[in-house]
Structure 1
Amino acid sequence: MASIAENDGALSNLEMDSSPPPTNELPNSIGSRPECFSSTLQECLFVLTATMSIGMSSFLAGICTVITAPIGRTLNMTSAQITWINASSALTSGTFLLFFAKVADTFGRRSLLIFGMAAFSISSLIAGFATNALYLDVFAGLLGLWSAASVPPAIGILGAAYHVPSKRKNWAFACFSAGNPVGFVMGTIFSGIAAHIFNWRASFYLLAIIYVFFFGAACWTVPRTQQVTERFTVGTLKRFDLLGILLSMAGIALFCSSLTIAGGAPHGWKTSYVLVLLLLGIALIAGFIGWEGLCKYPLMPLATWRDRNFSLINIIVLLGFMSFSTSAFWLSLYMQDVLRFSALQVAIHLLPQAIGGILVNIVAGLVLHRVDNKLLTGIGALSYLGSVLLLANIKEGSSYWAFIFPSLILSVIGADLQFNVANMYVMSSLPPHQQSLAGGIFNTVTKICSAIGLGISASIYNAESTGTEALQTTIRPYKMVFWFCVASAGLSLAFVPFLTIGTQGQSKGTSLVSLEKEKKGVEGEEKVGAGVDVGAVEKETKAIS
């Protein structure tokens, strides 16, 4: 009995020692290739595939932004209907991210990621044949849905593959974090070229071709990192939090829809159905939060928000990315409507943003483990603010090089620095068996903020476009939208001083992972992720008994 107790104690110590080392204690070496990859080529292609998965909706947004004017002319769309092309994608993506995160963590990440890639490619091809506004808006929403199905499993697999802190992990996450901002810019460039050579429909065909390639790459490169999956049974459904799923989807959908349709409503925000949708959405979201505190198996455990830095980094990214995505959308329209640029000219003038994004992510991969991430987040917030201040002060006839060019560079600095920091922190805050959930929460924040930003800015644009003062100049509605972006970026900056994160987004205080272990003990998948052979440990325990 004494030997059993001693071995039990040793086993307990093994479990406690199996947790990953603090992220700020980074090895000097670049780290070995994860065992789940058979070659460096497979590893690189997988990271690229994961990057393209998170960039799905941003890639689509970039494509639609450049060709909004020709789409509107061809399909006789109003400004509200044009806004819905981008908003519907952000709406469906934000609505279903938590649901697909739960599906990925429960039933398997690899198959869901491959399915999402295939469905996205097929839907993009069909969207290219759109004949009216409703047709295109619906398929833009479907494209957002399939991007929501792809993002959580990609994040979960990436987090499981790179569970050990190393420079290799930094580079993988630096590439992955580039998905949203660089995806948007690359979408604008590819769309501009395709639309110039053929027409706007070719942009959707090109998007379909690109993701057919990455569907094939996913089939080969996506590793099987998930140790435990469940079968679809009645017991599984009971633990799936169906009420939480329904409340979250309905609440987010109604809330974001009310913001998007307000701009084109007969009486704006005073329109009765806009107010009803807004209040219902808020009530359902509040009900979802309350239910999650009572549910035994919650879709989004409220404990994830106990870490102050987790909450703050999400708020900062929400406000900053709202400024980024909104200003990018209206800047493109400004180039088309005021400066009379063609789709190709818009793409060329946005090219510095793509080049800057690549360079910033290279720098991020080099400095994430060396520079305090609070400082990097602050630099990102300041860059956002400087970017939109330049746009808000633009005048008719202003030089592109004096206003738009530096604004593009600053905006991508803000986006890429903050996304790198936020992704690293969020992924290190939750245990391996909840990696898809971590990504789902973070990306839900970004998608909702995109829908909110577009909805509010569309209302501002429409209000300024109908006023008597707006008739004196075509630039005023755009300036008012950019001032809204200034307010959003400024509010984001105000939260930065309250962060207490160190290098690589690791908190200086208590992490959520340690809180989880204290409460429930080390999960079997965590042991595997930390390099402990669970099967061997169990056999040793049985032998001792």
Structure 2
Amino acid sequence: MADMAADQKEIDQEQNTADVLRDPNERPECFSSTIQECLFILTSTMAIGQTSFFQGAIIVVLAEISRDLNMDSAETTWSTAGVALSSGAFLLPFGKVADMFGRRTMFIASMIGYTLSLLVIGFANSALYFDILSGVMGIFCASSVPPAVGILGSAYEKPSPRKNKAFACFSAGNPLGYVGGMLVSGIASQVSTWRTSFWALAVIYVLFSITSIFTVPKEPSRAKVALTLENLNKLDPLGMLLAVAGIALFSSSLSLAGDAPQGWKTPYVIVLLILGILLIGAFIYWQSVCSTPLMPLYIWRDQNFSLLMGALSLGFMAFVSGQFWMALYMQQVQGYSGLGITVRLLPMVIGGVLVNVVCALILHRVSNKFLMFIATTAYMGAFLIASFTKEDSVYWGCYFVPFILMVVGADIEFNVVNMYVMSSLPPSEQSLAGGIFNTVSKLVSNVGLGVTTAIYNAVRDQVALR
């Protein structure tokens, strides 16, 4: 064990020595051309946006799916929550696996698996079929993100304008995937049925799956370890079990509480919540005593790291739930069609692209503290304005402005925090760094939806009693 750590440290030192003489703004040596580099970054952007693309696509046609497959409220909830739950639960384990046994193969296999899942889910003929496929799709989402982050982090090891541009593009996948999925689904469902929405996404991801085969850079053999029983034990199997079970149970309680018969007082919701918290607590304790932890706790002792992750958590809780409730409000209260909602959300896509372009140009020139101040202020302004929304509110005042400010907050925070997290761990653990970052963002998104759903139900019940 100590020998393996020493060998890896020596490899990292050799890489650092070799890189000293290179201009950090040059194209990384692992890419044979700028075209390959750009195509891989674009493919990675689509990889990190997989969960968001699916959730955005499904929200537009959820009512039609629920009616066609005779779903009850619980099954409808799982159709949207399943992908996020399984994705969030498996991100950390897959980060460790990618760092140890190779990122390239895992990334390509995950892209293909996600594409096939989109194709198959379009043939769903029952609620159970659809919900199970949603969970399976989440596993492929979880297995694609850590290797993508790991490859990018290793390729662009040193800070540079080129690295900022690469990660700004990559960071756009998560916030913009939701709206992109709505756009594809809105158009496809208008042309045909809800099934066409997923097949249209499958066609898009077929192209990127093929692209990944030719653009994902090959890894040096020394970057991987042999598949032996000893190395499998170093994956921290107990930590994986505790993390997956804890996150899954905790997230399930949040997702089910809104539609449970007695809300948060429903016995099975309480049991899931308590078990989830206990298992997450046990996971954290185990990481403090395990010799090869799944998630090194030392990174959380970095005050800046902890503060940034806290700010990101609060921001993403608001961003994801804000998108969901504003889209639902337009659908159920204002009566807009799926395509109508998509058109009204389109400024988020355009604004997000522009914000990421700006981030790529200024990240290495502007203080991170100032950028985080801009992001959090944008969030505050967005939801302050949105809180005054009424049924007859003008779109340009109560929707357009909050949408733009939400994207400004989300994309700036995502870029700043992502860059800092990637610099907190060595090149050999870049996939794990991506797993930690994305696990937190997925987990807090579920928390945000759970909290806002509870608030909505409480207000609805009070109104019903009047």
Which TM-score tier does this pair reach, normalised by the shorter chain? over 0.9
| Structure of higher CA gyration radius | 1
Please show how residues 50-449 of structure 1 align to structure 2 within 5 Å.
50-226=44-220, 227-449=222-444
Amino acid in the other structure paired with 1:231: A
Is contact 1:107–1:229 with CA below 8 Å preserved after alignment? Answer: yes
Following TM superposition, by how much is the alpha carbon of 1:17 offset from its aligned partner in structure 2, in angstroms?
Answer: 7.7
Following TM superposition, by how much is the alpha carbon of 1:19 offset from its aligned partner in structure 2, in angstroms?
Answer: 9.3
Q: Secondary structure at the match of 2:29?
A: coil
- CA–CA distance in 2 between the matches of 1:134 and 1:319? 33
- CA–CA distance in 2 between the matches of 1:134 and 1:384? 37
Following TM superposition, by how much is the alpha carbon of 1:449 offset from its aligned partner in structure 2, in angstroms?
Answer: 1.2
Q: Deviations over 1:463-493 (max 9, x none)?
A: 43344x2588xxxxxxxxxxxxxxxxxxxxx
- CA–CA distance in 2 between the matches of 1:389 and 1:81? 33
Pair 75,387 (structure 1): closer, same or farther in 2 beyond 3 Å: farther
- CA–CA distance in 2 between the matches of 1:95 and 1:277? 15
Following TM superposition, by how much is the alpha carbon of 1:272 offset from its aligned partner in structure 2, in angstroms?
Answer: 1.4
Instruction: List structure 1 segments (4+ residues) > 6 angstroms apart after TM superposition.
Output: 14-17
- CA–CA distance in 2 between the matches of 1:288 and 1:92? 17
Q: Secondary structure at the match of 2:393?
A: coil
More deviation in 190-199 or 44-53? 190-199
Q: Deviations over 1:253-306 (max 9, x none)?
A: 111111111112221111111111111111111000001111011111111211
- CA–CA distance in 1 between the matches of 2:73 and 2:414? 30
- CA–CA distance in 2 between the matches of 1:434 and 1:261? 35
TM-score (norm 2): 0.93
Amino acid in the other structure paired with 1:209: V
Q: Secondary structure at the match of 1:215?
A: helix
More deviation in 78-87 or 326-335? 78-87
- CA–CA distance in 2 between the matches of 1:319 and 1:157? 28
Pair 104,92 (structure 1): closer, same or farther in 2 beyond 3 Å: same
RMSD (Å) for aligned C-alpha atoms: 2.0
- CA–CA distance in 1 between the matches of 2:139 and 2:16? 41
Match of 1:532 in 2: none
- CA–CA distance in 1 between the matches of 2:194 and 2:465? 30
Pair 30,157 (structure 1): closer, same or farther in 2 beyond 3 Å: closer
Amino acid in the other structure paired with 1:18: T
Aligned length: 453
- CA–CA distance in 1 between the matches of 2:453 and 2:181? 22
Amino acid in the other structure paired with 1:323: A
Pair 133,391 (structure 1): closer, same or farther in 2 beyond 3 Å: farther
More deviation in 85-94 or 415-424? 85-94
- CA–CA distance in 2 between the matches of 1:97 and 1:442? 9
Q: Secondary structure at the match of 1:18?
A: helix
Is contact 2:45–2:170 with CA below 8 Å preserved after alignment? Answer: yes
Is contact 2:24–2:158 with CA below 8 Å preserved after alignment? Answer: no
Following TM superposition, by how much is the alpha carbon of 1:322 offset from its aligned partner in structure 2, in angstroms?
Answer: 1.2
Following TM superposition, by how much is the alpha carbon of 1:20 offset from its aligned partner in structure 2, in angstroms?
Answer: 7.2
Q: Which runs of 5+ in 2 are unaligned?
A: 1-9
Following TM superposition, by how much is the alpha carbon of 1:369 offset from its aligned partner in structure 2, in angstroms?
Answer: 0.6
Q: Secondary structure at the match of 2:423?
A: helix
- CA–CA distance in 1 between the matches of 2:121 and 2:458? 31
Amino acid in the other structure paired with 2:285: G
- CA–CA distance in 1 between the matches of 2:14 and 2:92? 30
Is contact 1:83–1:454 with CA below 8 Å preserved after alignment? Answer: no
Q: Which runs of 5+ in 1 are unaligned?
A: 1-10, 22-26, 473-545
Following TM superposition, by how much is the alpha carbon of 1:132 offset from its aligned partner in structure 2, in angstroms?
Answer: 2.8
- CA–CA distance in 1 between the matches of 2:464 and 2:437? 38
Is contact 1:59–1:185 with CA below 8 Å preserved after alignment? Answer: yes
Following TM superposition, by how much is the alpha carbon of 1:343 offset from its aligned partner in structure 2, in angstroms?
Answer: 1.1
- CA–CA distance in 2 between the matches of 1:86 and 1:425? 31
- CA–CA distance in 1 between the matches of 2:211 and 2:390? 46
Is contact 1:353–1:408 with CA below 8 Å preserved after alignment? Answer: yes
Following TM superposition, by how much is the alpha carbon of 1:232 offset from its aligned partner in structure 2, in angstroms?
Answer: 1.7
Pair 246,17 (structure 1): closer, same or farther in 2 beyond 3 Å: closer
More deviation in 137-146 or 101-110? 137-146
Is contact 2:102–2:219 with CA below 8 Å preserved after alignment? Answer: no
Amino-acid identity (%): 54
- CA–CA distance in 2 between the matches of 1:42 and 1:314? 32
Is contact 2:24–2:159 with CA below 8 Å preserved after alignment? Answer: no
Following TM superposition, by how much is the alpha carbon of 1:462 offset from its aligned partner in structure 2, in angstroms?
Answer: 3.3
